[in-house]
Amino acid sequence: MKNSDGDAVYTVQSVSKAIEMLEILSDQPDSSDLPHLAAKIGMTRNKTFRLLATLCEKGLVERDLKRGDYQLGFNSVSFAQKMLRHSSVLNLAHPIMEDLARRHHEAVYMTVIRGDDVLFLDMVDCEQQIKAMPMVGRRFPFFTNAAGKVIKALETRELADGLSQKKSRKSGNGPDPQKLASELLEIRSNGGVAIDCGGLGEGISSVAVVVKDYAGKVIGAITVLAPSFRMLRERIENEIVPSLIEGAALISKKFGYIPTEQFV
């Protein structure tokens, strides 16, 4: 089989559609029904049902027997966790995240940027009775949380400069560009610490500091995420922020990063 350019194509359509189905389900915050999924992947309901039945048999997808809706299955999460355990970023960061979680009794995450979204890669949970729902594997627009803002702010100044030149808008489709640009520039100027309240949900606060590699490139951010009633300003400034800065510096050091002031 060849494509329009005459090059050989070795992909198997059913496998491609199965992967597409898993990607769609992973991006859905809630379960999805058969008609919705069939429309998403461009297949008939009959073929989509057979594909879903196969994925369910392998534990990659689960079906709610009462409602008939579908969501990612346990094996999908298990495969992802096995892959992540082999990631150098997580292997190096996880012990320090564990120390931060023990010290503050709050959930600590490792996050990375994927396009304009933040992906919550890894988590060390806390034993608090009241806490936010686990975010591992979920993606959010960067402007909704501290991790996304601090990564974008320190990756490059071009984004903030571009946003500042856009006209303000009051639509519900996104943040005011000038306000966001001002916030990103402030994060750059205050030492690379971002704090967000409510972006990930009402009553949820997040604090984040970037992790860099040997070349000084931002590779992610460590984030403390907790209910806002425990994240009081004094605690954030005197306890959370200093620990995150220290933890991010230790992880960055493992990646070979040396602050420029050490050469002075």
For the stretch 75-133, pLDDT in tens is 776 666 555 544 567 778 889 999 999 999 999 999 988 888 999 988 999 888 888 88
pLDDT of residue 1: 46
pLDDT of residue 3: 47
- This prediction has a pTM of 0.65
Which residue ranges form the domains of the chain, and what is each CATH number? 13-77 (1.10.10.10), 87-263 (3.30.450.40)
Query: pLDDT, tens digit, for every residue of 44-65?
Result: 999 999 999 999 998 888 998 8
Contact 110, 122 (CB under 8 A): yes
